[in-house]
Chains A and B, each alone.
Chain A
Amino acid sequence: MQSDDTFHPVVWTTWLAAAALPALTTRNPLYLILVLLAAAVDFSALGRRSPVARSWRALVRLGALVWLITIPFTALTAHYGTLVLFWLPAAWPVIGGPITGEALIYGIVSGLSLMTLLLVFAVFNVAVDQARLLRMAPGFVYQAGIVSAIAVAFVPQMVASWQEIREVQQVRGHRVRSIRDLLPLIMPLLVTALERAMQLAESMEARGFGGHASPTDATVQAADQLALLGGLAALGVGAAGSGFWPQQQLLNALLVGAGALALIWSFWDQGRRVKRSRYRRWAWGRSDRVVMAASLVAVLIWVIAWLGHGEWLFFYPYPPYSPWPAFQPVAGLAIMLLAIPGLLLRPAKEALR
């Protein structure tokens, strides 16, 4: 049942993991820039402008703003390094002292990694219809996933409402001069959103959302809850133990393992009882397989680099390390694999307008 010009959501999720890994594990600007370029290739091939994807533009702007704030923040507060650009009087609190080039570089690079992560998620947002992705979700998170999908879909509605409310209050003579002046705008927005949400909840309830709950007997339910609580407790104690009593390694490991197993079993059992069927069946085309393979290879290479050759990814401009980033072509090739979806996407007629 292929009706879109995109890949299987699971494929895209793998791509997301492969693209997010560099942003999370390295601050080397060369790799980050390559990730940005690869994501841009994919985005230019997708080119879809769904209403939900429109909100990513605001997200990107937010990321850029955060980046621009990080740079002076880091540069002015971290007085460490040998490339001194200029001096501020040291008597000044926080920002007094030498302003170093290393701090500036570090600020730029930190913001760059955040920006990259944001853009990767934005591309994922455009590529995958969230509703489709949620349908892949396992039983026990299905409901939470639906709820969050609705919350996201509300955003463009709320943006439109906000516009209208602003105009209407403007016509009443209202001017936004201070924070308090936002109340006449926010109140109607919240109430409208609430009313809509109420009606949507009614509508979902009336259509049997929540699964056709088969009556479960008390013992099974109790077992599930017990497993959940016990698993959490064991996990917590194990984690605390590994922090406070590191000598009892075996005991801690056992507790953590047992806790995790209990949790997984509880989730699986609960999910098993939420009866749900799936309407959509995604066919795995050849392109899907290729992109999946490429993403997995990229993940593999990156994990090996991260765990085994940490120096490839390392970048820390402060002394005694070098402010010149190094570039390892193998890691760069792994990043280039991320651009493959963009090259393989068939720009079919926009079936989903």
Chain B
Amino acid sequence: MIRLDRVTYSYPDQPMPALSDFSVAFEPGELVLVVGPSGSGKSTLLRSLNGLVPHFYGGRWAGRAEVFGRDPVKLAPRGMADLVGFVFQDPEAQFVVDTVEDELAFAMENFALPETTMRKRVEEVLDQLTIAHLRNRRISTLSGGEKQRVAIASVLALQPEVLVLDEPTSQLDPQAAEEVLVALRHLNEDLGLTIILSEHRLERVVQYADRVLYLPSLGAPPVLGSAREVAAILPLVPPLIDLGRRLGWHPLPLTIKEGRTHARKLAGRLAGSENRQNGSPSPSNGGQPPIVAVRGLHFGYEGHQALRGINLEVRPGEFVAVMGRNGSGKSTLLRLIVGLLKPQQGQVTVGGLDTRRADLGELIRMVGYVPQDPGSLLFNDTLAAELAFTRRGHGLTADPEGSSALLQRLGLESVAARDPRDLSGGERQRAALAAILVANPDVILLDEPTRGLDYAQKHALAELLLGLKREGRAIVMATHDVELAASCADRVVLLAEGQVVVDGPARAVMSNSQVFASQINKLFRDPRYLVVDDVLRALARGTNAARSEE
């Protein structure tokens, strides 16, 4: 039994309490999903279950917490470690030693368990998480998904009864996320572990949850109910649930399978509508010369051939989504386009300039590159200073009005005077974008911009990018996010093993793919329906047509 009783907690130096008169109770053996916008107190709640709040962070605590009979506030994390296992978001920063096996043993050593017990548990945990083949590997050589599984295994070694995970898949690509979630589900169903995890991407996990805890905002009362109940009231949901809500499907489908029955019924009504390609604005500028032209590009490093014979053209006003597995060369391609890397064979031309010969300063006037981690970009004291820095770096004069107009457009004018590193994840992403856009590049490159963003932030970003596209800028985005690509992209390029597998209109490519299909697409198996709007529009047309027929 996990219970929080009227807990009020505020971080040190924060006037507003993170948890205010918070009460919740979880049953043993259930899988609880904690959802809510960024900054609504999810992390605080999770950390209070094992005593990190308040022991690691300080602050003021009022109320009672109880986890299976133990008081985390009294016992501190050390006293709770063999009952509650905690896994964090960043797979890079959870490991103490370099070998998998030693890492698994680390927690047990701290508890002074006898050697035979330790050995037995290591074997068990390796099997439970199916990482036995990684036993002697160095952790730094593992992939993201493998690392997170090792992290889970290392806390599992103490045989806790509760597993708490704070956004464990937000830094992972979809395949790795899938691996982790499958493992969690297995732990919950077969071993009966109570699992409490917070996650932004509901579509991955909502179907497994016994209950969902929704924290609307800081200090607001939580909503706890079954997955369907809560999904009905969440403001932002995955496209499937969104469609289900809008069309009033009952019971609300949480998985594609559940939705298919409804979809089949709907398909009949949609069958009569026109067979027209609709949806995101189609690329209409086929006549213009490409602003980015990649021909016969080969690039490799340290014995590994990253790109083999890439051909790509991007026209102004085009939105290209580059997709592919980790290690397929997406980031390398972006770096080659911006001129950070020089092609070993072939040619990359940006705005008429050959990247091999042109000066980087000239290239970056045309190309803006937003990195995966906005933290590696931001360092100034205020956001406004950040923009001024970029302008200086490009040799442009300061343009305060233009900069403030840009901030307004990005919804950041209220935080212009704040330290950009203090901003939330989504705001940081937008701040990085602002810092790049202030130089008015014609080509914008984005590398995985949606990692760690919740739906609202993703939505805002998508709107922004579409606006930029309409201004005539070319956008190339490397992403795993299928939904984002479905809603924004004109073209999709699939990379695998350094080669282009598919290059075509988004609609066509994504509907033909099994892996990169959007939820709506998987639901209807129809290239016409990629996003919710497609369906609704078709429905409206169909209804009109039916009415007109009547």
Contacts and interface: CB of A to CB of B under 8 A. Distances in A.
B77 A208 contact: yes
Interface in B416-439: 421, 435-436, 439
Interface stretch (B99-107, B267-275, B313-321): B99-107
B369 A278 contact: no
A346 interface: no
Given A184-B389, A188-B377, A170 B340 contact: yes
Q: Report, nearest first, the 10 A-B pairs whose CB atoms are least far apart.
A: A173-B393, A208-B81, A279-B105, A187-B379, A275-B112, A207-B107, A196-B93, A131-B97, A206-B86, A199-B93
Given A171-B340, A183-B379, A351-B136, A212 B78 contact: yes
Contacts, number: 180
Q: Majority SS of interface residues in chain A?
A: helix
A203 B88 contact: yes
Interface stretch (A19-27, A70-78, A108-116, A150-158): A150-158
B398 to A, nearest CB: 14
Contacts of B113: 277
A172 B138 contact: no
A191 interface: yes
Contacts of B397: none
Contacts of B193: none
B114 A277 contact: yes
Given A146-B96, A196-B93, A206-B155, 7 more contacts: A168-B369, A171-B338, A195-B93, A199-B94, A205-B56, A206-B86, A277-B115
A331 B56 CA distance: 55
Nearest to A161: B376
Interface residues of A, number: 60
Which interface class (under 10, 10 to 19, 20 to 34, 35 or more) fits B?
A: 35 or more
Q: Which of A191, A207, A208 lies at the interface centre, i.e. has the most chain B CB atoms within 10 A of its CB?
A: A207
A167 B375 contact: no
Nearest to A198: B93
Contacts of B421: 191
Interface string A254-294: 00000000000000000000011111110000000000000
B414 interface: no
A274 to B, nearest CB: 9
A276 B110 contact: yes
Contacts of B102: 131-132, 279-280
Nearest to A165: B376
A7 to B, nearest CB: 17
Contacts of B379: 183-184, 187-188, 191
Contact of A199 (B81, B88, B392, B394): B88
Contacts of A188: 375-379
Contacts of B140: 51, 156
Interface string A98-135: 00000000000000000000000000000001011001
Interface string B64-90: 000000000000011001101110111
Given A50-B138, A173-B393, A206-B52, A276 B360 contact: no
Q: Which of A167, A174, A277, A280 lies at the interface centre, i.e. has the most chain B CB atoms within 10 A of its CB?
A: A277
Nearest to B113: A277
B534 to A, nearest CB: 36
A52 interface: yes
A167 B108 contact: no
Contacts of A205: 52, 55-56, 77-78
Contacts of A280: 102, 105
B393 A352 contact: no
B378 A172 contact: no
18 contacts: A50-B138, A51-B138, A171-B367, A172-B439, A175-B393, A184-B379, A191-B375, A191-B379, A203-B88, A205-B56, A206-B155, A208-B107, A208-B110, A277-B108, A277-B109, A279-B109, A351-B136, A352-B138
Interface in B95-139: 95-99, 102, 105-115, 118-119, 122, 136-138
